[in-house]
Amino acid sequence: MKGFDPFDSFGPEVASSYDEDLRGDEAETLEFLAEHAGTGPVLEFAIGTGRIALPLSERGIRVDGIEQSTAMVDQLRAKAGADKINVTIGDMSTVELPEQYTLVYLVFNTIHNLVTQDGQVRCFENAARHLDSDGVFVVETGVPWRGPREGSYIEVPKVTMDEVHISPHTYDAMTQVLDISHLRLTTEGIRMSPLSLRLVYPSELDLMARIAGLRLRHRWGGWKQETFTVHSRRHVSVYERR
């Protein structure tokens, strides 16, 4: 997307309303991650507003985070329990912390926010650097199982009496980059949230893991450890050291 800067994509306006659109699977996510965290500590890439990190921390597991958006971190810091979480501002694919972790995790499609293949590979390499000898890297993201439509198209995910959501899309099959502008039309006006994503299939992520010295331990079709099939709309993949 011309003029799009990933480091500006989650500014104050987006951050202020980010928690209004929770997916509803946060409890399942928490249970899965707690099971794989052991005694910790754990590291969340793109910790955001802390929707997962904070309840995980409440279980007595130490959680650190990396986040590029200061606006998102400001939202996290305003919540109860945030003083227990150490957050480093920066790029999750390059920031190096001094410790190693039992679990590094990256959820909610965020691997796609790195809009180049090199950036996504660096993310895997950085995760591997932060794992202890028995640690695992958990990645959860959607599967473009139908194949994104090339060219431009529009989706309308919500229509009510006083609010309409419209999302124009443009997909480039050569770069695998999907450009989206989420438009929220209300009686108070129009809000635009542009976003670029580099979509990847699980097989490409497995190659990235191999480059980083990791291998796939398990892959499920969801947080409840559903069987991953050709019909799965997302996957939860667990990588370990080779």
Are the C-beta atoms of 115 and 197 separated by less than 8 Å? yes
Model confidence at 146: pLDDT above 60: no
Model confidence at 14: pLDDT above 80: no
Model confidence at 182: pLDDT above 90: no
Chain centroid, CA 85 distance in Å: 18
Tokens of 27: 């409890």
Model confidence at 210: pLDDT above 90: yes
Percent of the chain residues topping a pLDDT of 70: 87
Domains 6-144+199-241 and 151-197 share a fold: no
Q: What is the pLDDT of residue 22?
A: 62
Would strands 177-186 and 163-172 be described as parallel, antiparallel, or unpaired? antiparallel
Tokens of 14: 């987006």
Q: Locate tokens 């754990």: which residue?
A: 42
CA distance 3 to 181: 13
The better pLDDT of the pair 74, 153 is held by 74
Number of alpha carbons in the 13 Å side-chain half-sphere of residue 154: 6
Beta strands in 107-150, from DSSP E residues, in sequence order:
131-142
Q: In the chain, where are the structural domains located?
A: 6-144+199-241, 151-197
Tokens of 65: 């985070």
Tokens of 184: 């929220």
CATH 3.40.50.150 fits 6-144+199-241, yes or no: yes
Strand partners, 197: 178
Would strands 131-142 and 101-106 be described as parallel, antiparallel, or unpaired? parallel
Strand partners, 227: 220
CA distance 109 to 219: 15
Domain 151-197 class, CATH top level? mainly beta
Mean pLDDT confidence for 116-130: 97
**Arithmetic mean of pLDDT over the chain:** 89
Model confidence at 21: pLDDT above 60: yes
Question: Nearest 5°: phi and psi at 142?
Answer: -75, 160
Model confidence at 105: pLDDT above 70: yes
Tens-digit pLDDT profile for residues 50-63: 899 999 999 999 99
Model confidence at 187: pLDDT above 90: no
DSSP character string of 193-237: EEEEEE---HHHHHHHHHHTTEEEEEEESSTT-PBP-TT-SEEEE
Q: What is the pLDDT of residue 195?
A: 84
